Structures are given as C-alpha cells and as structure tokens.
Amino acid sequence: MSQKLTGIYLAVGAIVLVLGSCEAVFRILEINEKLIFQLTSQPERTVGKYVYDDTLGWRHRPGFSTMIQWPHGETLEKINSRGWRDRNFPFKKDSSRYRIAVLGCSFAYGYGVEMHETFSKQLEALFNKEYPGRFEVINFGVNGYGIGQMALAYEKYVRKYKPDLVILQYGWFNTLRALYDSMWFSPKPAFVLEEGQLRLTNVPVPQGNFRWIEKVFLRNSVFYRFLREKMLVYLQGDKNKELAKRIALLRSQTEVQDSKIVDLSTAIFRRLHHSVQLDGSDLLVFIWEPEAPWLKKICERAGVKFFNLNKEADHRFLARQDEFTYQPPVSHWSPFGHSFVAHSIFNYWKRILSNN
C-alpha cells in the first residue's frame, strides 16, 4: 500500500474517530436535551415535523408527535391524522354547531405552548362556556407560513371543513414572507402581480436535493444536528440582517412606501376573501401591532373585516403586556399571550353581536 493511500486512510480514520468521540460526548452529557434546534428540521421541510407539499412547500406531518424542551419547560407537539395541531374534526359539520377555522403561522400554531393553551382552544372554551356545545374552533396554523400560503392552504385543505367563519392572524412577517419563493432554505410558492393580475409561481414547489444520507444523520446524530444548526445560522446571518433593516423600516412607517408590498398583499387578501365568500363563509382578520397601521390600510384596501387585538383587550391584559411573549429563543406568545388573543377575539365578537 502506498504512503499516499495510507495517509488518506489514516486521515479518514482520524475524522471518524473525532466525530464519533464528539457524538459520544454529546450523548453522554445529554446535550440533545439541553439544546433547541430551531433550524435543522426546517431546510426543505421534509424531515421531522414537516412533510413536503407540492402546493404549499411544506405542511405538518400527519400523526407526528414529539416532546420539546424549552427554557420554560416541556411541550407536547402532536399533529393529528390530517396534519393539523388539533383534535380530529370530520369534514362534515354538525348543523347545530358554528365552526371557526383559524389560519396563521407559528403564532396560531402555538409555538412553545401546549395545544390546549393556544388561542384557538382558549377561544373555543370561551364560546362554549357562554353557548354550551355550540362552537368548534379548528387550528390550521402552520409554522413559517406567509399570507400567500395561508390563502392556498384554505383553498386546498381548509375549505373541505366548511367553516362558518375564517379568522386569519396577520402580522408584518406574514406580509414579508409572501414576497419570497423560499424561506429558511425551503422552497415555497410565491404570488406575483403582473399588470394587476395575481399569478402563482414556483408551483409545483421544487423538492430540492435533500439527500437521504443527510436525513439519516439528522434523525440519528446529535452532533451533526449541532453542526448543521450552526452552519444554517451562519449562512442565514447576512439575509437576516437585510430583512431586519427592511422590517425596522416597515414597522416605523405610518404609510408603506413600498407599493409592491401593499399591492401584492392586497391582491392576496382579495383572492382569499373571494374564495371564502364563494363557500358561503366570511373572513375576519386580526392585527395586534399599533406601530404598523399600514396593516390596517392593506385590510381596508382588500375590503376584508379586521380589528386590532389591543383595542378589544381587557385592561387587565394590557396592564401585563410584558407577559404576552416568551423571551428569545422562543419569542412567541406565552399561554397568557394566547389568552389575551382569545379574549380579544371573543370581546370583538360580543361587541359586533350587541351592535347588530
């Protein structure tokens, strides 16, 4: 055997030994239980909690279940047999019940909280306390969705449940996500406006080249997931800086100067509103950011009903706004924040009823 070939074997053996030792250390110290891997299950969204969808890019994997460790404690993330974080509901609705479908991203999904703590389930409990057994509130929130994917999810899946009302959770990040055909290195659909007409692009969504060997490593190697997480954070860094500047500008504006954002978002909402109305239902949008009144302008231009959570909230919630969200890395609504959302929606509902 030549010295060159011997050197290659030795180098490969040393790498395997180092990687194996690192993996052993990670497992012995149970580092997997102490780390939160926010990105490694997201590239191309075809591993873990996510499954590829040719129209939406990704959706939650039907039947998936795992326990997640957060700085504030554990949560069970359980997906039902149809891919939603809720109990199973039949497509056919009992005629004696009023069914509400909730569209949204990770805020609606309940990132970092238990299923019963999500605003959907708390809202359902509030309705059924006042009107026993009359209401069903189904959570169709999917992590990472923008308003374009929410509209497509309604058209492909949600309308099958024949809801009486569709409630959409709307923040500035849902608007920005509609501008791109990928997120977190995950291909996704994108709408574009051409001569005033809305056109869907990047569909069927490309599946990419997520090799089977990497799936094996992601499922079985804690150390590989650690390295992959660090690499993704590094690669995403520059894009995040660019987006952060754009977000900071948008959130400070009373009127958005970027007509592309306004026109595209308005057109997507009009399409969704039209689809919902064709099904004999109605669309209600809620916002919660007083520093971004341009969200209100988009809703007004689209002709959809909307309201601001803060304006409907009980003063006891507003006095404790610092408790609405968990600290990073979770950075989403806490159970108290979800309660604020549920009560605000419920208060809006009762006010509308009383005015009618």
pLDDT tens across 134-169, in order?
999 999 999 989 999 999 999 999 999 999 999 999
**CATH code, domain with 345:** 3.40.50.1110
The interaxial angle of helices 259-278 and 147-156, nearest 10 deg, is 20
Q: Does the structure show a pLDDT above 60 at 34?
A: no
Which residue range(s) make up the domain with 22? 1-34
- Kindly indicate the confidence band of residue 104, based on its pLDDT and cuts at 50, 70 and 90: very high
Is the bond preceding residue 90 a cis peptide, omega within 30 degrees? no
What's the structural domain count of the chain?
2
Phi, psi of 283 (to 5 degrees): -115, 135
Q: Does the structure show a pLDDT above 90 at 246?
A: no
- pLDDT score, position 95: 92
The more confident residue out of 215 and 272 is 272
Q: 331 near 111, Cβ under 8 Å? A: no
DSSP annotation of 136 reads: E
pTM, two decimals, is 0.81
H helix or E strand, kind and range, residue 182: strand 182-183
Beta strands in the chain (DSSP E): 50-53, 57-60, 65-70, 73-78, 98-103, 135-139, 165-169, 182-183, 186-187, 190-194, 197-201, 282-287, 305-308
Report the candidate in 71, 60, 77 with the shortest Cα–Cα distance to residue 33. Answer: 71
Q: Are residues 297 and 340 in the same domain?
A: yes
Q: Are residues 24 and 170 in the same domain?
A: no
- Kindly indicate the confidence band of residue 23, based on its pLDDT and cuts at 50, 70 and 90: low
Phi, psi of 84 (to 5 degrees): -125, 150
- pLDDT score, position 231: 63
Local structure of 165: helix, strand or coil = strand
Q: Are residues 44 and 19 in the same domain?
A: no
- pLDDT score, position 343: 97
DSSP annotation of 280 reads: T
Q: Does the structure show a pLDDT above 70 at 272?
A: yes
Q: Are residues 21 and 112 in the same domain?
A: no
Mean pLDDT within 180-203: 89
Is the bond preceding residue 329 a cis peptide, omega within 30 degrees? yes
Q: Which residues contact 40 (CB under 8 A, 6 or more apart)?
A: 218, 225, 228, 229, 232
Q: Does the structure show a pLDDT above 50 at 211?
A: no
- pLDDT score, position 245: 65
Q: Does the structure show a pLDDT above 90 at 347?
A: yes
Mean pLDDT lowest among 13-17, 91-95, 345-349: 13-17
Q: Does the structure show a pLDDT above 70 at 195?
A: yes
Tokens of 175: 């608007």
Q: Are residues 16 and 155 in the same domain?
A: no
Q: Are residues 3 and 41 in the same domain?
A: no
Q: How far apart are CA 271 and CA 261, in angstroms?
A: 16
Q: Are residues 64 and 98 in the same domain?
A: yes
Mean of all residue pLDDT scores within the chain: 83
Mean pLDDT within 84-105: 96
Q: Does the structure show a pLDDT above 80 at 301?
A: yes
Q: 120 near 108, Cβ under 8 Å? A: yes
Q: Which amino acid is at 168?
A: L
Mean pLDDT within 209-224: 62
Q: Are residues 142 and 26 in the same domain?
A: no
- pLDDT score, position 49: 83
